[in-house]
Amino acid sequence: MYQPPWQHNDVLEKIIHECYDWTSLFLSKQDPKRFRVTINISASLTEQLQKKSPHVLQQLARAAQKGVVEFTDTAAYHAILPLFLTNGVYRPDVVQHQIMKNRAVNRAAFGSWNPQGFFPPELAFSSRLARVLQQMNYSWSLTESVVYEAHHKPIPSTQIALNEELPVLFRSDDWSNKFSGSYAGNVKGFVNDIDHGILSWFNRGYAILAYDLETIGHHHKNYNKEQLEEYVTQLEQHNLRAVHASTLTTLFPLREPIERPLQGSWSTAKNTQCENPWPRWHDPDNKHHTAYWWLIRKILAHTPAENLDVLAPALHSCPTWWVSGDRFESDKFLLGADMLRFAAEQLGVNVTEEYCAVVRSLYET
């Protein structure tokens, strides 16, 4: 669950009405013996819901108290964390600050906050990030299957991968995309398909489905309360258990060490993982991205750890996403640059040259 810190009120209200309101109520009424789910909610969204719809947070808290929901930790403002652990920008304190800020905001909102696992924004993961998470005592992290499959073999289903001594779980992009795409609104067909698919894959194992909660009701209107009720029923009838992600690390104690460095996200193409692991946020062939990260590097070079609160919201991932691939929405890109420039002004950093380069990148051919 995430919305950018600048999300427009009308858009947020629409998403609350079409998704957050009724899904959180649905979860609060479930029996943990029948259905469990792991939810990631960023501080960026929590802060907005506290003002707009605190009942959504209250319903999620009730679901967590019942044992239906377990929460994960994440970056407070949806920063792409591995990009702050590279040779070009090596600031582990930025990563730690985003995580600690997320903890503080969500602990204040929910009253209790002690996640075992970590959900990196956009499932953007690297071995350097694994090292930081392991040092912060997380029990596991989730990432995208391509991060594993690009260098190895099909993702584990009967044991848990281990990278930098951190257990790593991999999202099944195939099944997750079917749920949020071709099978949207047809849960009976989906569960029947996944049951047969799993039986051909393993006798006793696991598959991880992960998708934006906004998929349900907002992006796909076919998903409603009745469909989710049917989903729970179908899982029971097919003897498929919906468990917390943390439970998997107990149910499947075998570990598979991965020595080779990992990096990538849901957007990484298998054949370009080494050359371009972050195509939506730091594509070396994207002039807008290049200018944007020049601006970020300039500000970070003059921002000590104790001043990161000022900069943190401006490090969200959305601006470069809007000028990647076949997308080009310059207003949202410039909104991000404006947030960075405003933070720089508060920090006393002159970024006139770097900001102008961002603007020029939009108009120069």
pLDDT at residue 182 above 90? no
> What is the mean pLDDT of the segment spanning 151-166?
85
pLDDT-wise least confident of 116-120, 166-170, 185-189, 321-325: 185-189
- pLDDT level of residue 10 (50, 70, 90 thresholds): very high
* pLDDT for position 48: 96
Widest Cα–Cα separation across the chain: 62
- 178, 167, 161: which is closest to 130 by C-alpha? 167
So what's the pLDDT on residue 149?
80
Structure-model confidence comparison of residues 187 and 355, the more confident one = 355
Could you read off the pLDDT of 286-306 as tens digits, one per residue?
Answer: 999 999 999 999 999 999 999
pLDDT (0 to 100) of residue 365: 58
Q: Is 355:295 a contact under the CB 8 Å cutoff?
A: yes
Looking at the chain, the whole-number percentage of residues with pLDDT higher than 90 is 70
**What does the alpha-carbon distance between residue 22 and residue 249 come to, in Å, rounded to a whole number?**
30
Q: What's the mean per-residue pLDDT of the chain?
A: 91
Least Cα distance to 270 among 83, 125, 128, 144 occurs for: 144
* φ, ψ of residue 152 in degrees (nearest 5): -130, -115
Res 273 pLDDT > 60: no
pLDDT digits (tens, 9 = 90+) for 46-105: 999 999 999 999 999 999 999 999 999 999 999 999 999 997 899 999 999 999 999 999
What pLDDT is recorded for position 364?
77
Q: Work out the end-to-end distance of the chain between its first and last CA atoms, rounded to an integer number of angstroms.
A: 37
* pLDDT at 197 (0 to 100): 77
pLDDT-derived band at 152, boundaries 50, 70, 90: low
Say what the pLDDT of residue 41 is. Answer: 97
Taking the C-alpha atoms of residue 183 and residue 190, their distance in angstroms, rounded to an integer, is 6
Picking from 22-31, 198-207, 210-219, 243-252, which range would have the lowest pLDDT averaged per residue?
198-207
Containing 31, the helix (H) or strand (E) segment is none
**Mean pLDDT to the nearest integer, 203-214:** 86
Residue 348 burial by Cβ neighbours in a 10 Å radius (0-12, 13-18, 19+): exposed
Q: What is the pLDDT of residue 80?
A: 97
